[in-house]
Structures are given as C-alpha cells and as structure tokens.
Chains A and B, each alone.
Chain A
Amino acid sequence: MQGQRDAVSLSRTESDALGRRRRGRNWALLAALLAFSALFYAIAIVKLSNHQ
C-alpha cells in the first residue's frame, strides 16, 4: 500500500484536498466517539436511576 502511494504523484492542490478530507474524517470520527460515549453514559444513568 505504501509503495502504491509513493508511486502516485500528486499536485499541491490534490495533496491539499487529500489532507482536508483526512482531517474531516478524523474530526467526524472524534465526534462519533464522543457521541457514542455520551449515549452510553446517558443510558447507564437512566438504567441506574430506574433501579433505585
């Protein structure tokens, strides 16, 4: 895979576009993980309060 990437030559614009997309994906993943954690936390709190 790395070899294939090295073999493709990118212009500056293309390289910037790739970087933007990669950053976008990373932010989206962070948001999804935070949302998932918040959901689990909320479910746990509700379940615990229902048991009390």
Chain B
Amino acid sequence: MSEIAVLGEGRGEAQSPLPALSAPELDISSPADWLALLKPRVMTLVVFTGWIGLLVAPGHLHPVLAVAAILCIAVGAGAAGAINMWYDRDIDAVMRRTRNRPIPAGRIAPGEALGFGITLAVASVLVMGLATNVAAAAALAVSIGFYVFVYTMWLKRRTPQNIVIGGAAGAFPPVIGWMAVTGNLGLMPVLMFAIVFFWTPPHFWSLSLWAHGDYQRAGVPMLPVVSGARETRRQIVLYTLLLVPLTLLPWALHTAGAIYGLSALALGLGFLASVWRVARDRQDARGVSLTNDAPARAAFKYSILYLFVLFAAMAVDRLVG
C-alpha cells in the first residue's frame, strides 16, 4: 500500500532450474513467489505504523481483535501490492529493480496475481469489519482503492507529482489502526496521516535521485526524470521543511507529550541536516551528482529510520505518559 521504496525488492527471487520453460503453463511458482507479490518489505512499515495507530488510540481493543486488525492492514496492503504488480508488469519488466518480480520473470501468470490480490483485498476488508468496526473496514477499503486506482492506475504514469498524492495511500495505516480501536477519527490520526504523507516525497525522491535511470527506461515520470536532479533536491528540502514542524504539532497541541516532542525535534534536525547535504551535493552543470549520489543514499536510509523511531517515540510517549 505504502510506496515506501525498497532497495533490491524482488532480488534473488528467480528460482532456477526452470527459468526458460513456459512458466505460467508449467505452474512453477513457489510459496515465496506468492509472498513476494505482497511486497513483504513494504508491508513492514505499514504494519508498524498501523500498530502504532492502534497503540496510541484511546480505549481498549481485545488482543485477539488487535492482532486481527493488524493482520488485515498487512494483508490489505499486500493485496494492493499484488494488484499493483499485476498492473505494472510491463514497466516492472524493464526496470532493473523489479524485473525479477514473479510476474515479469514469468513465474506467476498476470491473471492469477490479479485474482490473488482481489481475493485478499476483499477478505481483509470483510475480516476487519467483523473483527473491529465498519469505519476501520471502510478506511482499509479506501486505502486499497486509493493505492490501486488513484496512485497505480491514474497518477503513477501521468505526473511527476505521483508520489506526492499517491503517498496518501501509505499514510492510511495509522488512521486505520486508530479507527479499529475508537471507531472514529480524531486530531491525532489526522496528524499521523499528515506526517507519513509529507515524509513520503523526500523519502522516495532520495531513492529516485540515483534510481532515475530505471524510471526513465520505463517511461515513469518521476520528478528527477521530468524536472532534473537539481529541482528534485530542492523539492526534497522543501518537503522536509514542511514535515519537521508538522511532526512537532502533536506536542504543541498537547496530543503527545515531551518524550515524543523532543524525539521529533532531534530526529527532525537530523533529517534536515541529511537533506541539506543532498542539496549541497557536488554536482555538474546539469545537476548530476559527482559523488554517485552518496548524500541521497544516506538521506534515503535515514528517512526510513526517521519514521520508525518517530512513530516508536509516539507509542513510548503514550505508554509512559
């Protein structure tokens, strides 16, 4: 669901000795291929932020129902990923990062992947409704629909702002977790949504700065392909400048305490320093990095750590405070 970028995703999935055979007819897929359709590494962030949403929400949810809710968020995200892989199989085949995924590698037939994704999407929404409430189930359905229809089918191939608006899909899990407990929305889940939403562009564009060759080959209008590396670096800094004050709002509005606030401040300063180094990267006249995009690679790694620790601080603050 989330468009958290994962390096090397799909790598090592090719399982010889049968690559040359007509794969879908021979049914050579293994359980690992079906699992790969769910983008398990992307799922980790989705599960984590969903779990934090559930933890910081006021109220109590029976542990069995909480586990069911998290499972539904994970499976819903995986289902959206499987449908995304079905739709994007043409561009996945030409991108180095994705060409070993089960569909372009010929280990799973496209139609089977689509059926798998739709089945899991429907099942996750139904079970969420049964285990928690209709509001959480509806939010899960909207997040899956947003990722599939708005991001994958509509925006991804049309606009360099794809990742900005599409990032909303990855921002849903904490909201769903919160709604699973409370059955309604509040200020805190809206802020959590906004944090993930504004975090996504600097996170993803840091990756696309050095992986834009792949997107160019596939004809995907990622920002560095359309507007160049220099503009991408500027946008990374701008979005981080918006993100950091936003992360302090829960503290300022008294929906989170000092543990969270001070952590957000320290982490935010670290993120700003990291993207500042991206902006100051040594580059040629066209803005192409002369350091093999070392600062962008570092910022990408930091962005993942940043979000994990930020949300963990939110949970610690709630449990301790």
Contacts and interface: CB of A to CB of B under 8 A. Distances in A.
Given A8-B26, A39-B71, A43-B131, A28 B34 contact: yes
Interface string A3-40: 01100101001100110011011011000000000011
Bin the interface of chain A by size: 20 to 34
Contact of A28 (B17, B27, B31, B71): B31
B190 interface: no
Interface in B58-110: 62, 64-65, 68, 71
Interface of A: 1, 4-5, 8, 10, 13-14, 17-18, 21-22, 24-25, 27-28, 39-40, 42-43, 45-47, 50
A8 B22 contact: yes
Given A8-B21, A8-B22, A18 B27 contact: yes
Given A22-B27, A25-B29, A28-B34, A42 B64 contact: yes
A4 to B, nearest CB: 5
B68 to A, nearest CB: 6
A27 B80 CA distance: 24
B68 A43 contact: yes
B18 A17 contact: yes
B25 A14 contact: no
Contacts of B27: 18, 21-22
B31 A25 contact: yes
18 contacts: A1-B25, A4-B25, A8-B21, A8-B22, A10-B21, A17-B28, A18-B27, A18-B28, A21-B15, A27-B31, A39-B71, A39-B127, A43-B68, A43-B127, A43-B130, A46-B65, A47-B130, A50-B62
Interface in B1-51: 15, 17-18, 21-22, 25-31, 34
Interface residues of B, number: 21
B131 to A, nearest CB: 5
Contacts of A47: 130
Nearest to B107: A21
Given A5-B25, A43-B68, A21 B127 contact: no
B62 A5 contact: no
Interface in B101-147: 127, 130-131
Contacts of A25: 29-31, 34
A43 B130 CA distance: 8
B51 to A, nearest CB: 17
A42 to B, nearest CB: 5
Nearest to A31: B31
Contact of A18 (B22, B26, B71): B26
Residue from B27, B31, B68 whose CB has the most chain A CB atoms within 10 Å: B31
A42 B127 CA distance: 12
A18 B18 contact: yes
